[in-house]
Structure formats: C-alpha cells, structure tokens
Amino acid sequence: MLKIYNTLTRQKDEFKPIDDNIVRMYSCGPTVYNYAHIGNLRTYIFTDLIRRALQISGHKLKGVMNITDVGHLMEDSDDGEDKMAVAAKAQQKTPWEIAEYYTKVFFDDLKKLNIQTPEIVAKATEHIDEMIEFVKALLDKGFAYETSDGIYFDVSKFEKYGSLSGKKLDEQVAGARVEVDTEKRNPEDFALWKKAEKGHIMQWESPWGMGYPGWHIECSAMSKKYLGEVFDIHSGGVDHVPIHHENEIAQNEALAGKQTVNYWMHAEFMLVDGGKMSKSLGNTYTIKDLEDRGYEALDFRFFCLNAHYRKKLNFTFESMDMAKTARARLNQSLLEHKASSNKTDPKIIEEYKEKFMDAVQDDVNAPLALGILFTAIKEPKSKDIYNLALEFDKFFGLSFDKIETKEEDSIPDEIVMLAASRAEAKKVRDFSKADAIRNEIEAKGYLISDTREGYTIKKKD
Ligand code: AMP
Ligand code: ZN
C-alpha cells in the first residue's frame, strides 16, 4: 500500500487513485528563461521518483508538466517584469528564442538525469485560449473583477483561501507588503490576466484588449484541459505552497465548486553550503557546472537519492565527492555480482524485495530504499543480487544496466606482467628483485598489495 505525505492534510495518506486504471498527475515545470540549477533539478528528480514509485506499485500514469514561456513575473506575487522578457532583453533575443534554447537544455538535463518525460508537456504560449476561457468563467461566476491593468481573482470570495499553507487570510494581510495597486480589493488578489503595457513583447488578443496571462492561471487551465477538473496528484517545490499553489487551488475550486486535487506533494529546498542559492553568491550550479568539475549527472541523482524529499538537502562539493565515490563503489560491487555465476537463496531475495517496496511505498523513501540495496550488495557475490538491483533500478533510475568497467579501471598488460614476475621473485625468495619490481609498478602509477590469496593491483588515486 502506497502512502504519501499530503501537504493538504499534513499527514501521510494512503494513496487511492480516482480511476483504478490511470493516475493523473500534474507537476509544475520550469520557467524557461535560464538554465535549471541543481535546486530546480532536485525538485524534478523528486517528481520522477513519485512517478517511478507509482509505476512499481502497479499504476499507469498520465503526467502533465507545463513549460512556462510567458507570464511568470520576477516576483511570484505578480510584481515586476515578465522573466522571459527580461532574459530576452538582456540577451538581445526574442522571448521565443529564449524559450526554445532553455527548453532544449532543460530536456537534455532531464535525459542525463534519467528523469522520465511526462506523458504530456504543455507550453503556456500554446494554451492562451484555454486560459482566456478560464478567466472568463471566473468573471462570470463573480470570483474575478477587472481593473485598469488586468483581471484579478478576488480572494475574499474564496473562503478556503490559504488552506494549503495553513495561513489565514487576515494573518496574510497583516504581514503583507505595502500595497501599491489601490484598485485591488484585497492585497492577496492576484492577476489572472494582465493588460499589455506599451512595448510589452508577448501579447494576445482577449475580451479585455491585448494582454498576457498571469502565471497561476496557466497551470489551472492546462491541468483542467489534460487531466480534467479533478485529478490525483499535484507536485512542485515547497516554495510554491504559499502563493502559486494556493492560487491554483483558488482558481480551480472556484470554477469547479469542489476539491480538484486529492494529493499535494512538495519537495523541500536544496541549499548550497548551508545557505540559499543565489546568482549573486555564484552558487546556482547547473549540470554542466558539475560535469565540468568531473561529476556525472547520475552522481548528482545519486546524491539526491540519499536524502528524503521532505528534508532540506545541503549541497557541498565534499558531499558530492562522497556521493561520487559511494556510487563508484556501488557500481563496482554490482559488476562483481553480475560476473558471478553463484545463486542466492530466493527467500533472501524476496525479503529484500519486500523491504525495498515498504521503503518506496512509505512516502517515497529513497534513502531507506538505497540503504536496503547497500545491505543486499554485501551478500556473497551472485548474479541474483545484480538482477535484484536491476529491479530496484526501476525506482532509482541509476542505469545499473549500463555500468561497465571503465577503461581507466582496467590494469594494463604491462603492469599485470610486472606483478606476475614480482610474484615469481617472491616465490624464489628474491626479495630485493620483488621490491625493485614493486617500485617500478608504483612509478608507473599502480599500487600492489599482498593478500592471503595472492595480491591485488589498483591504480593510484
Ligand atoms: P522555477 O523555474 O523558478 O519555476 O522553478 C522550478 C522548480 O524548482 C519549482 O518547482 C521550484 O519550486 C523549484 N525550486 C526552485 N529553487 C529550488 C531549490 N533551491 N531547491 C529545490 N527546488 C527548487
Ligand atoms: Zn504551477
């Protein structure tokens, strides 16, 4: 039985799909004005793990992810310029060119990280009509009103506003920033549609003149189009709880007149060196940055698997090094299991499988599941353990089927020959010759150590 932590109920709930045949899931996607940083990618790895947990629990999926290529202003709360327009201006390109470039890089990153592409990827700019229809319906139902610069959602009309973050409306008002827009009825009212100001690049015709959509309406319109009014799971980063997802709920439920998402799931933030990631600190690393420093994208995926998604994860290069080493050891051990023709008692294999499923189904507990794999590989070498790992990999997504001995790990013939002559020398008790050969081996970059069975050779670190 799969249990997942539901931000809405603040507890682990048993997962029951609306439709037995298919799980419908929406995940907030990237705003494609920049490279995704490792924090963003942690959140997409999290979404991928939910997908895989559902799949190995026997569910089929219809997942939707949006690509925000318009309407996400510099502040989530509708302030500032459109992120796409800012990037376009800075790079002297059109917003469409910006979107195309960063969308491509984003999907390249997902591929490297073994993150499944959801069944439907929907671009905001291709769903403007659906958004306009949604806004019209909210106006008709009395949940929205027009001002001189746009159409706003009236949060005072939606009683449940704040239920996801648990913040009551009056608390939010008390803590709100000084309000500049005097036409807004309540400080939390948010733009559904903005009338285009002079010189605004991306704009569309609407019943309210030329304009562009608000960011929040995008997810509501696209989830409704592809998943229907009511669906199972909605995921995203924890920063979206207080504004973006609160606003999505308000829009969806105002229109539908009922609860529209059964399970809300949120990934905690990634920190760098214990603090926030920010451009000014120069610590918003990308996958390319990690690759340039000698890590593989899957080292980063492995790093993320070591922490539960509801815990903050602190990124440091020391901990990345540890993840890289641990993954290399894991892969090496799996290779040895793969090469073995021994068997493992099927009962033992079954026990591992059960423990693994319990971990995955206990709110997608990846670190616990990984711990079970690390215990399993300590079993005597056997192909069954390798096959077990392959099965676990449907969840981990670490490409255990592709691991192979790296060129640099294999010992050159010359060194193997030298080691053999050293063993000969030792056999005839010519220790000075044996020592000389050892020095020669070391000078060529290899270490030889004697064991009870003979000796082992490895490359110097
Ligand atoms: P954005 O492109 O800014 O909308 O962000 C894309 C996704 O990354 C959203 O789901 C955010 O919640 C998430 N996100 C942003 N910063 C971080 C971070 N430091 N750690 C984890 N997730 C993040
Ligand atoms: Zn969204």
393, HSE (Cβ side, Cα atoms, 13 Å): 18
* Closest residue CA from atom 7 of ligand 1: 40
- 39 C-alpha to ligand 1 centroid (Å): 6
* Residue 175 binned pLDDT confidence (cut-offs 50, 70, 90): very low
Q: Is the CB of 237 under 6 A from ligand 1?
A: yes
Between CA 315 and CA 277 the distance in angstroms is 10
Q: 19 CA distance to ligand 1 centroid (A)?
A: 30
Q: Determine the distance separating the centroid of ligand 2 and the alpha carbon of 161, expressed in angstroms.
A: 17
The Cβ of residue 322 has, within 10 Å, a number of other Cβ atoms equal to 13
Q: Which of the four pLDDT bands, split at 50, 70 and 90, describes residue 77?
A: low
Cβ pair 254, 158 in contact under 8 A:
yes
Phi, psi of 341 (to 5 degrees): -100, 10
pLDDT at 74 over 90: no
Tell me the three state secondary structure of residue 272.
strand
28 CA distance to ligand 2 centroid (A)?
4
If one residue of 40, 74, 102 were mutated to test the ligand 1 pocket, choosing by the most ligand atoms within 8 A of its CB, it would be: 40
Determine the distance separating the centroid of ligand 1 and the alpha carbon of 343, expressed in angstroms: 45
Q: What is the pLDDT of residues 215-269, one digit of tens each?
A: 999 999 999 999 999 999 999 999 999 999 999 999 999 999 999 999 999 999 9
Best mutation site among 43, 77, 281 for ligand 1, i.e. most ligand atoms within 8 A of its Cβ? 43
How far apart, in whole angstroms, are the C-alpha atoms of residue 107 and residue 423? 53
Q: Does the Cβ of 32 fall within 6 Å of ligand 1? A: no
Distance of CA 201 to CAs 93, 117, 210, 388, Å? 11, 30, 11, 54
Going along 111-245, which residue ranges are E strands?
A: 120-123, 144-146, 150-153, 190-195, 211-213, 231-237
CA of 390 to the centre of ligand 1 (A): 30
- What is the model's pLDDT at position 320? 97
Backbone angles phi, psi at 253, to 5 degrees: -75, -30
Atom of ligand 1 nearest to the CA of 36: 2
pLDDT of residue 174: 43
The more confident residue out of 279 and 142 is 142
Q: Whose CA is nearest to atom 19 of ligand 1?
A: 39
Domains and CATH numbers, the chain: 3-267 (3.40.50.620), 281-402 (1.10.730.10), 413-459 (no CATH)
Is 29 a pocket residue for ligand 1 (Cβ < 6 Å)? Answer: no
397: nearest Cα among 26, 48, 121 = 48
pLDDT, position 79: 72
What are 267's strand-pairing partners?
237
Provide, rounded to the nearest whole percent, the portion of the chain with pLDDT above 90: 79
Closest residue CA from atom 8 of ligand 1: 40
CB neighbour list of residue 410: distance below 8 Å, 6 or more residues apart: none
**DSSP per-residue string spanning 92-141:** TS-HHHHHHHHHHHHHHHHHHTTPPPPSEEEEGGG-HHHHHHHHHHHHHT
Detail the DSSP E strand segments found in 270-402.
270-272, 313-315
Nearest Cα residue to 32 out of 112, 113, 97: 97
The answer, yes or no, to whether any atom of ligand 1 lies below 6 A from the CB of 31, is yes
Q: How does residue 110 score in pLDDT terms, banded at 50, 70 and 90? A: very high
Q: How confident is the model at residue 85 (pLDDT cuts 50, 70, 90)?
A: confident
Residue nearest to atom 17 of ligand 1 (CA): 39
How far apart are alpha carbons 445 and 190 in whole angstroms? 64
Question: Do 139 and 147 touch, CB atoms closer than 8 A?
Answer: no
Atom nearest to 31 CA in ligand 1: 2
